[in-house]
Every structure is written in C-alpha cells, then in structure tokens.
C-alpha cells in the first residue's frame, strides 16, 4: 500500500525530512553555541568556533545555583504527581466501580475542569492561598497542579469501568475489604494508565509558567522556566547563560523522550482516543 | 459507621470532591461574585452590581484593549484551524502510511512539546533575531540579503510569530491524536479501497477523513480554548503590556495586566478596582470559553453513552 503515492506525497515527505532535520539541527546549534563565550555569540555569531569551553555551564551551576531551581521544579513535580494520582485514582475508582444515585452528576462534575484552564479562576485561588498563607510557597503551586484532576479521572475511570465485575466480587467473597481490593488488586492493574497520565501531566507541570509566575516571588523558590526568563529578558548580558540553561533543561528530557518515544506517544494516543 | 459502610464509594470520592471543589470549581463561581464588586484585593469591597461590565464595554480605552486582545486570540484560533490542523492530518497520514523514517518524524515533530515556553521563545529569537538570527543569515547566503529584517521587532508580525511558536510547540500533539484516530480505522476498509484502485489521496479523502472527523472537531474546539487562554508566549515576548501597541496582546494577558499588573499605565479608576475589573475580564473570557466547552462536553458525553 505504500507505493504509488504520487509526486505530492513525495514532496511532502521531502519537506518533512527537511523540517525534522531542522529541529535536530537547531538543538545541535543551541548546544554548540552554549559552549561559546558571550562575546563570540553576539559579535561573531557565524564565525569560526574559538574558545569552546564549559564556562557558561560552570557559571550557571556554581554562581547561579542552577540545581536549586532544578530542585524546586523537581519538588513541585513529584509532590503534584503524588497528590494528583492519589486523588484521581481514588475518585475514578469510586465513580467507575460503584453504583449510586448521583453517579451521572459526579461524572460531569469532574469533567468540568477539563474545559476550564486555571487562569479563569486564578484571582479567587490567589485569595484562598493568601488566606492560607501560601503565597510565595511551593505548596500553592503543588495544590493547584495536584487538584486539577479532570483528565486523569476521566482516563482512569474509563479504565476501571472496563474491568470485569467478577474480579471485585471474587475478592469480596475471599473476605477482602473495599480498600484492600482497591489497593492490592485494582491499582496494580491500572499501572499502564497511571504511567500514561504521569507522562502527559509531568510535561505540563514541569514546564508550567503562569502559576509559578503568580505564586512564587522569591528567588529561592523559583522554578527553571522562571529562571530562563531572567536570562532571556536581557539577552545582551546573559545570552550565554540562556543558551546553557536551555540545553541543560531541555536536552536531557529530549534524550529520555527519544529512548521511550514509542511508549510515550502510545500513552498520549491512549489519552486522546478516549478523549 | 454503618451508614458509611453501606456507601463505600464515599470513602473513595470524598477527598477528590473536596479538593477539586475548592481549587477548581469554587474559584469559577467566586470569580463571578467578585466581578460584581469594586475592589483592589486589599481595601474595602464595594458592591457595584454589573457596573464593572458596563465600564469594560463603555470605557473606550478598556474596550479597545479588549477588542484588540480578542482579535489576536481569534486570529490565532483561525490560523490554527486553517493551517495547523490540515498539516497535522497530512503529517499523521504520512506516518500512518508507514513512510520511511516515520519514527524519526514522529519523535522530531513531537519533541518541542517537551520544551518550556520561555525556551521556545528563545529558540525563535535565535532564528529570527535581526543581528544574530539564523533566518537572516540564510537569506543572505541565498542572495536575498536585502530582505533581512529584525523579524521579532516588527509589531505587525508579532501575533503571527506568537502563532508560529504555539504551532511549532503543539503541532505534534494534534498529529498524534489524528494518528491515534487513524489507527482505529479497520484495516479491511483501507485494503478493499486500495484493491478497488483508490489512490493515496483518494483513500485520505474518502476513508480516512470521515473516520477522523470527531478528532478534528475536538481539535478545533481545543484550538479555540487555547487561542482564548494562551498567555505564556505573549507575556514572554511582549511583556505585561502585550508588545508595542498591544501587538501580541491576548485575552489572558489583558486579564493578568488588569488583575495583577502593578505598573498599570491607566492608573486611577482601574488600579483601585484591579481585582474587580480583573475578574470581570476573566468572566467575559470564561463565558466565551464556556459556550464552546459545552459543545465539547456534549460530544465527549455522547461518545461515552455509545
């Protein structure tokens, strides 16, 4: 079925090769430039490479404490994920495996958040957080990212609903309590879906900009994307650091992605087909 | 205890319902309430009814800012539907038809999704900057040096550049959605069409497209919501004022500027009503997303019922 696709298809394929190669090229270009001193990048952009070194990285990691920002991003990511998976798997299981009066309403209730990006309610959330004393505290970012459960609840409840009823009944006959069934039998089965959720959500949480921008002011608590803007806001004085941080925060993730790309893309697809 | 034992689902549902209500559902309603007050978040709240809405639509300056931001948001949406979605379909179809290098295409096209927005803006700077940009260098090498421009500094280009960034970063996700939908098509259907002599493009039009039309509709709705709520790119590229003369201003940024902008150029009326007017804009935005979202909820829900 692959042959005889005509000239147009050939043209598009050629274009795709160029486009995709360009993406790889630009990543290489950034990596290359991140090894050059600032003066070279700005005044001799396309000239011969001289004085390649890891100085920019040294400055970023030692002087500007890159790993503190990395740590903040990691804490927010992990805590948000734990909260999100805990809440959404419990909720999804409750919705999918039990019969009760308001079931339909509860399903739609949890779908609502899918439609409304967090910006819309940010002022009231800001007021809640300031009442709780969580402004300029990572907990506020974690609470917001970890309670945005619509998508995970949707994916997980579809999964749980598809499991045969007999499993639950058999375990009940064996004397297992509700909690044991959930924890020992259902959750292990849901691992692939949980993984798919984690992957899609992690990217969003790791790269999120708006929420940390509003809730975190002190440098000690800032995340990587906020640090990036500090450099990119003034390229004349810190383009070298902007390059170094772009490489350091992007290339490792892309390498992980390339290794697991089929799995990750299948996960995204699974979420999409159901959505 | 017995009451709970008879309703074990409550144990599972309660934590989710409580936290989700506080941080996702309640703020939507609270915003609607706050928009009826004149308030800056610190001082006294004064109930003003729908005055904030009246002011937003009658104050010439605010109204101009809003229509400009809306125009930009709609432009992003329209460009995405007209250009990006067809491109996503074609990319997905090429990968679906097992073209050589499909894994490479898939990974490369999807990869910008993993790059944080400030870095995407920075990458565009490296390409389109007037002095150090690759694009101008390319023009020069190709002999079109006289066309070289500081692309990012042209206000008229601003919103197209924002759109370009959104598209570059997001094109892979929609492509994967389409690919997923295409993989659901029965193999026999494609095969029999092939045997009947339907060519590569005919199969796309007569078999693939009808099968992915729900995904396409879904992506149109998602693009609308993204267009209305996009914030990062405009903020990073144009700052809080949304670029020169609001060239990259969008609805979310307009909202942010009113609610949280401390360097408010308008002063006076707005600054002691920052939160009131901010939530009013959020509610207008909310309403615009709401209408379209209802359509989406209905579609998802109907699919569920099937």
Q: Enumerate the β-bridge partners of residue B37.
A: B47
CA B81 from centre of chain = 12
Q: CATH 1.10.3720.10 region(s) of chain B? A: 66-261
Residues 15-34 of B with CB under 8 A from A: 15-17, 19-20, 22-28, 30-31, 34
List the alpha helices (DSSP H) in B142-208: 155-183, 187-195, 200-203
Per-residue confidence (pLDDT) for residue A275, from 0 to 100:
43
Q: Does the distance separating the beta carbons of B98 and A262 come in below 8 Å?
A: no
The sign of the dihedral angle between the CA atoms of A3, A6, A10, A13 is negative
Q: Report the alpha-carbon distance of residue B292 to residue B255 in Å, rounded.
A: 20
DSSP A158-182: HHHHHS-HHHHHHHHHTT--HHHII
Q: Report the alpha-carbon distance of residue A92 to residue B303 in Å, rounded.
A: 18
Nearest to B91 among A16, A17, A120 (CB): A16
Which CATH number goes with the domain that contains A83?
1.10.3720.10
For residue A182, tell me if it sits in a domain.
yes
Same domain, A95 and A189: yes
Q: Report the alpha-carbon distance of residue B93 to residue B81 in Å, rounded.
A: 17
| Residue (of A140, A144, A142) closest to A120 by Cα position | A144
* pLDDT over 50 (residue B267): no
Q: A209 Cβ partners below 8 Å, 6+ apart?
A: A225, A226, B116, B117, B118, B231, B232, B235, B236
Shortest CA gap B181–chain A (Å): 6
Task: Quote the tokens at residue B59.
Answer: 């104050």
| End-to-end alpha carbon distance in chain B | 38
Q: Is A4 helix (H, G, I), strand (E, B) or coil?
A: coil
Kindly report, residue by residue over B119-174, the tens digit of the pLDDT: 999 999 999 888 888 888 888 888 888 888 888 888 888 999 999 999 999 999 89
Q: A259 Cβ partners below 8 Å, 6+ apart?
A: none
Reported for A259-267, long-range contacts at CB under 8 A and 24+ positions apart, including other chains, are: A261/B103, A261/B106, A261/B107, A261/B110, A262/B103, A264/A199, A265/B106, A265/B107, A265/B110, A265/B176, A266/A196, A267/A195, A267/A196, A267/A199, A267/A200
Task: Quote the tokens at residue B281.
Answer: 């804009």
For residue A257, tell me if it sits in a domain.
no
B101 touches chain A (CB under 8 A): yes
Per-residue confidence (pLDDT) for residue B225, from 0 to 100:
87
Chain A partners within 8 Å of B173 (Cβ):
268
Same domain, A24 and A153: no
**B6: nearest CA in chain A?**
A100
C-alpha distances out from residue B154 to A197, B65, B66, B157, Å: 40, 19, 21, 5
Nearest to B9 among A4, A94, A112 (CB): A94
Kindly report, residue by residue over B11-62, the tens digit of the pLDDT: 899 999 999 999 999 998 899 899 999 888 777 888 998 999 999 999 999 9
**Residue at a domain's end among A31, A57, A83:** A57
Does domain B66-261 fall under CATH 1.10.3720.10? My reply is: yes
Q: How confident is the model at residue B105 (pLDDT cuts 50, 70, 90)?
A: very high
**Residue at a domain's end among A57, A72, A89:** A57
Same domain, A121 and A186: yes
The answer to whether the beta carbons of residues A149 and A91 sit under 8 Å apart is yes
ipTM above 0.90, yes or no: no
Q: How confident is the model at residue B200 (pLDDT cuts 50, 70, 90)?
A: confident
Chain B partners within 8 Å of A46 (Cβ):
137
The answer to whether the beta carbons of residues A205 and A76 sit under 8 Å apart is yes
Same domain, A70 and A36: no
Backbone phi and psi for residue B38, each to the nearest 5 degrees, phi listed first? -95, 120
Q: Does the distance separating the beta carbons of B19 and A87 come in below 8 Å?
A: yes
| Residue (of B233, B109, B220) closest to B166 by Cα position | B233
B202 touches chain A (CB under 8 A): no
Other CB atoms within a 10 A radius of the CB of residue B222 amount to 18
Q: Does the distance separating the beta carbons of A254 and B20 come in below 8 Å?
A: no
Same domain, A15 and A150: no
Q: Report the alpha-carbon distance of residue B280 to residue B56 in Å, rounded.
A: 8
Q: What is the DSSP letter of B119?
A: H
Per-residue confidence (pLDDT) for residue A221, from 0 to 100:
94
The size of the A-B interface in CB pairs under 8 A is 279
Q: How many domains does chain A have?
A: 2
Chain B partners within 8 Å of A93 (Cβ):
12
Domain extent for A51: 6-57
Q: What is the pTM of this model?
A: 0.87
- From first to last of its 275 residues, chain A has per-residue pLDDT tens of 445 577 888 889 999 999 999 999 999 999 999 999 888 888 777 777 777 889 999 999 999 899 999 999 999 999 999 999 999 999 999 999 888 888 888 988 998 887 777 777 888 999 899 999 999 999 999 999 999 998 899 889 888 888 888 887 888 888 888 888 888 888 998 888 898 888 888 888 998 999 999 899 899 999 999 999 999 888 888 899 999 999 998 998 899 888 888 888 887 777 665 44
Q: How many CA atoms lie within 13 A of A75 on its CB side?
A: 16
For residue A91, tell me if it sits in a domain.
yes
Backbone phi and psi for residue B272, each to the nearest 5 degrees, phi listed first? -90, 10
Nearest to A272 among B180, B278, B289 (CB): B180
For residue A177, tell me if it sits in a domain.
yes
Q: What is the DSSP letter of B36?
A: T
Backbone phi and psi for residue B47, each to the nearest 5 degrees, phi listed first? -70, 125
For residue A217, tell me if it sits in a domain.
yes
Q: Does the distance separating the beta carbons of B16 and A128 come in below 8 Å?
A: no
């Amino acid at each position: 079925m692959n042959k005889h696709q005509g000239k147009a298809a050939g043209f598009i394929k050629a274009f795709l090769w160029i486009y995709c190669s360009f993406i790889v090229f630009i990543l290489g270009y950034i990596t290359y430039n991140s090894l050059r001193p600032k003066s070279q990048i700005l005044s001799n952009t396309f000239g011969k490479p001289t004085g390649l070194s890891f100085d920019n990285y040294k400055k970023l990691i030692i002087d500007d404490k890159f790993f503190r920002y990395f740590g903040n991003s990691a804490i927010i990511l992990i805590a948000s994920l734990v909260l999100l998976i805990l809440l959404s798997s419990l909720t999804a299981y409750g919705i999918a495996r039990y019969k009760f009066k308001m079931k339909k309403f509860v399903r739609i209730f949890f779908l609502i958040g899918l439609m409304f990006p967090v910006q819309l309610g940010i002022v009231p959330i800001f007021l809640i957080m300031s009442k709780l004393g969580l402004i300029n505290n990572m907990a506020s970012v974690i609470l917001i990212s970890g309670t945005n459960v619509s998508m995970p609840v949707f994916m997980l409840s579809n999964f749980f609903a598809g499991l045969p009823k007999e499993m639950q009944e058999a375990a009940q006959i064996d004397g297992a309590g509700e909690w044991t069934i959930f924890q020992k039998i259902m959750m292990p089965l849901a691992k692939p879906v949980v993984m798919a959720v984690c992957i899609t959500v992690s990217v969003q949480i790791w790269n999120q900009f708006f929420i940390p921008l509003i809730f975190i002011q002190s440098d000690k608590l800032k995340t990587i994307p906020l640090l990036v803007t500090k450099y990119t806001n003034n390229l004349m004085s810190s383009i070298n650091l902007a390059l170094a941080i772009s490489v350091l925060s992007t290339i490792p993730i892309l390498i992980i992605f390339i290794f697991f790309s089929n799995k990750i893309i299948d996960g995204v697809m699974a979420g999409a087909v159901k959505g | 205890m017995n009451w709970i034992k008879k309703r074990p689902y409550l144990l599972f549902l309660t934590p989710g319902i409580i936290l989700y209500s506080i941080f996702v559902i309640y703020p939507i309603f609270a915003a609607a309430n706050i928009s009826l007050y004149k308030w800056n978040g610190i001082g006294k709240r004064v109930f003003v009814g729908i005055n904030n809405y009246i002011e937003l639509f009658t104050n010439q300056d605010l109204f101009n800012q809003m229509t400009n931001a809306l125009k930009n948001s709609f432009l992003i949406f329209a460009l995405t539907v007209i250009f990006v979605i067809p491109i996503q379909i074609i990319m997905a179809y090429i990968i679906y038809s097992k073209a050589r290098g499909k894994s490479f295409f898939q990974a490369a096209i999807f990869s910008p999704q993993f790059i944080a927005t400030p870095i995407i803006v920075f990458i565009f700077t490296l390409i389109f900057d007037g002095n150090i940009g690759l694009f101008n260098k390319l023009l020069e090498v190709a002999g079109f040096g006289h066309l070289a421009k500081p692309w990012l500094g042209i206000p008229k280009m601003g919103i197209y550049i924002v759109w370009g960034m959104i598209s570059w970063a997001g094109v892979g996700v929609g492509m994967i959605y389409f690919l997923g939908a295409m993989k659901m098509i029965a193999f026999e259907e494609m095969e029999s069409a092939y045997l009947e002599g339907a060519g590569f493009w005919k199969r796309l039009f007569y078999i693939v497209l009808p099968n992915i039309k729900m995904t396409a509709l879904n992506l149109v709705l998602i693009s609308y919501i993204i267009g209305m709520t996009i914030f990062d790119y405009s903020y990073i590229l144009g700052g809080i004022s949304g670029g020169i003369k609001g060239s990259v201003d969008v609805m979310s940024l307009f909202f942010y500027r009113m609610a949280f902008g401390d360097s408010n150029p308008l002063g006076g009326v707005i600054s002691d009503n920052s939160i009131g007017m901010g939530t009013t804009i959020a509610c207008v935005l909310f309403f615009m997303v709401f209408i379209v979202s209802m359509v989406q909820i209905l579609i998802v829900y109907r699919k569920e019922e099937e």
